Each structure stands twice: as C-alpha cells, then as structure tokens.
Amino acid sequence: MFRSGFVSVIGRPNVGKSTLINALLGRKALIVSDKPQTTRNRIQAIYTGDNFQIVFLDTPGIHKPKHLLGDYMLKSALDALTEVDLILFMVEATSSPGPGDRYIAELLCRVDTPKFLVVNKVDLITDEVEARQLSLYSQLGEFKRVFTISALEEKNVQQLLEEIYALLPEGPCYYPPGTVIDRPQEFVAAETIREKILLQTREEIPHSVAVEIEKMQLRETKPKKCDRGRFSLSHSCDKENRPLSQGEPSPMPLQDGKATGDDLPPLLDIEAIVYVEKESQKKIIIGKKGAMLKEIGTEARLELEKIFGNPVFLDLWVKVKKDWRQKKHNLRQFGYE
C-alpha cells in the first residue's frame, strides 16, 4: 500500500517552519534566515520514500499585513489550512503564547483537520522552562499530538516524521520521485540570492528586496578554466554596464593532480536583478566599492553550484523600484500572485 498526503506547516514569522521542513527532508530545500517573513510564497516541498510521499506546505508566517505583499503572504498562509491531511502548528519555546499564536489557534478551531502542536527551539531553554511553555501552548486548542523539538539540531524530528507517516492515508504518488519542490529552477535561483542578501543585511533592507532572474541557461561551449564560478557585479547607474568586480574561480575538478577541462560540466549563466525600494537601500547592498554585493554574489554562486551541479557565472544588478510592495503589477512581476 502506498501512502501519501499533504501537511501544512503554519505559525508566526520566524518560528522555524522552513528549518523544520529542511530537517524533515534531510536536505536544504528552502531558504532560511533569522529575519521574520523570510518565506513569502507557499511552497510545496516533497519527501518521497519507498512506499509513501509527504508534500509539506511551507507558508509565510501569519502576521498583520502592512502592505499588499503582506496581504498576499497572509492569504497564502490561510489558504494552506484547507484541503490538507495534517496541520503542524509551530510555536517557539523561547516565548510564551502571544496574540499571534492565539489568533492562529482560533483559526485552527474552525477546521476539522488533525493538528500537531510543534514546540520548537527547546535547545535554547531549560527543562523546567520547556515544561512550563509546553503546558501553556497545549491550552491553545485540541491537538492530536504534541512535540517538543529543535529543528536546528534535529532533536525529535525523526519521531515527528514517524507520527506524520502514521497518519497518511492511502493515496497516489503526486510528484515524480526525485522532485524536491514544486517550483522551477529560476525560483530556486532567485530565492538563493535573496537568502544571501537576508543574511548580509539588516533593518529595513531584507523586507524591501525582490530578486528577478532575467536569464538562466547553459552555455553551449564548454567553460574555460578561467570561467569556472565567476560572477560580475553591476548596478543600474553604470551607463556602459561595466562590471564593478569579478569573483575568484571555484576549485577545479582534479584528475591525477591536474584540472581537466573535459571533467567540467557546462557553465550555467545566470543574470539576476536585485530590486529595492529606495536609492539608499541600493547603496547599502552594493556597499563601498561593491564590497557588499561581491560578498552576496560569492555566497550565492557557491550555493547555486552545489544546487545545480554546474559552474555558475552569476551577473548581479541592483535597481530601485519605488514602493514595489504596494503595487499589484510589481507583485505579479516578482511572482507574488
């Protein structure tokens, strides 16, 4: 008998939903950062075993929206409460239940779907505090199971996975084996670049950034050794579009101690535009003499090479699109619809 089902992971911003799904999958499939609202889209991450398939719905953190992008994110999260087989309500043990948790708990009371309460970040508190927080959160509603976990350290994650499997109904294999997320490669590339920006910046910058992939294709000719893993950094004020700087090549595949061109997979060319809402934000992301953008580009390129298995030439641009989070056509342009 083959089992399959859909599992929605919901909670306030920054409680560790994407980190948990990565831990359940046993690999990094979703971007993570310590910034609230890192996840903007509802993404389906797929875990396929020998006789089962679990489709996890990663959702934006439920919060009070302040712009049209926030409205979209809230709707994406609330839509994930319906037509699923199980809901994981994720909270964090480092704080007591707040208005946001109670609001989500009230929403959950309106649906008949089985619910697990998942109390995350227990690695950051004592056993005494854990017991107290578990008692407080358990009072928010009726839960089929209650788990205390550390998604970051993968504590009790395997037990959670086993309980999820036990509840799966008989069903088809919805996605071909080997599928990890229900998004195209361009989405993965854009999110990877955005993640590196989130990790390098603070204050209003992370929430004001959108990334659009302009071009993504393999070169027909084999890459030269000097092409391996390079990237150019540009910004919209350069009239001649000259690169500000270039990254160092990644290590070459070795054969008998020497790099061989025959071992190199095709070079993947990626051209991406980083959009911000203000000129001052653009200057911060570029940094002095392009230093910040160079750091972002280097980290993004290295991870993209791991994801796609090809050397990457990453061309980054930074442009201003004023108040894009408040404009419907911009939200559609960046895939928030």
Q: Is the pLDDT of residue 254 over 70?
A: no
> Where is pLDDT greater, at 242 or 332?
332
Report yes or no on 178 lying in a domain. no
The structural domain count of the chain equals: 2
Same domain, 157 and 192: no
In this structure, is residue 58 part of a structural domain?
A: yes
Q: Is residue 172 part of a domain?
A: no
User: Both 162 and 199 in a single domain?
Assistant: no
* Number of CB atoms found within 10 A of residue 262's CB: 7
Check: CB of residue 181 under 8 Å from CB of residue 46.
yes
Confidence of residue 262 (pLDDT cuts 50, 70, 90): low
Residue 266 lies in a domain: yes
- Regarding whether 197 and 136 lie in a shared domain, the answer is no
Reported as a single tens digit per residue, the pLDDT across 55-101 is: 999 887 776 677 787 787 677 777 777 779 999 999 999 999 999 99
Q: Are residues 43 and 123 in the same domain?
A: yes
pLDDT value at position 201?
92
State which of 113, 137, 167 marks the end of a domain: 167
According to the model, what pLDDT value does residue 67 have? 73
> Does residue 233 lie within any of the structural domains?
yes
Q: Determine, yes or no, domain membership for 73.
A: yes
Last residue of a domain, one of 138, 167, 196: 167
Clarify whether residues 24 and 121 are in a common domain.
yes
Give the 3-state DSSP-derived string for the chain, with helices as H, strands as E and coil as C: CCEEEEEEEEECCCCCHHHHHHHHHCCCCCCCCCCCCCCCCCEEEEEECCCEEEEEEECCCCCCCCCHHHHHHHHHHHHCCCCCCEEEEEEECCCCCCHHHHHHHHHHCCCCCCEEEEEECHHHCCHHHHHHHHHHHHCCCCCCEEEECECCCCECHHHHHHHHHHHCCECCCCCCCCCCECCCHHHHHHHHHHHHHHHHCCCCCHHHCEEEEEEEEECCCCCCHHHCCCEEECCCCCCCCCCCCECCCCCCCEECCEECHHHCCCCEEEEEEEEECCHHHHHHHHCHHHHHHHHHHHHHHHHHHHHHCCCEEEEEEEEECCCHHHCHHHHHHCCCC
C-alpha distances out from residue 223 to 218, 241, 243, 303, 304, Å: 10, 23, 20, 19, 16
Statement to judge: residues 160 and 193 lie in one domain: no
Out of 43-52, 61-70, 103-112, 155-164, least confident range: 61-70
Q: 143: domain CATH number? A: 3.40.50.300
Same domain flag for 94 and 60:
yes
Q: Are residues 264 and 127 in the same domain?
A: no
Query: Both 139 and 245 in a single domain?
Result: no
Residue 328 and residue 199 share a domain: yes
Average pLDDT, the chain: 85
Q: Residue 45 belongs to what domain range?
A: 3-167
Number of neighbours of residue 329 by Cβ within 10 angstroms: 7
Query: What share of the chain has pLDDT > 70, as a percent?
Result: 85
- The whole-model pTM stands at 0.81
CATH number at residue 310: 3.30.300.20
Do 276 and 247 belong to one domain? yes
Strands 258-259 and 254-255: antiparallel
- Has residue 85 been placed in a domain? yes
What mean pLDDT do residues 214-226 have? Answer: 77
Together in a domain, 27 and 111: yes
Domain termination site, one of 167, 195, 221: 167
Q: Residue 332: CB partners within 8 Å, gap ≥ 6?
A: none
Q: Which of 200-214, 228-242, 284-298, 323-337 has the lowest mean pLDDT?
A: 228-242
Mean predicted confidence (pLDDT) in 287-309: 95
Residue 173 lies in a domain: no
Q: Measure Cα distances from 245 to 208, 224, 233, 294, 310 in Å.
A: 25, 19, 6, 7, 22
Judged against a pLDDT cut of 70, whether residue 7 lies above it is answered with yes
Least trusted range by pLDDT, from 14-18, 47-51, 203-207, 294-298: 203-207
Cα distances from 142 to residues 28, 98, 109, 138, 268, in angstroms, run: 31, 18, 8, 8, 50
Output the pLDDT for position 220: 77
Q: 253 falls in which pLDDT band (50, 70, 90)?
A: very low
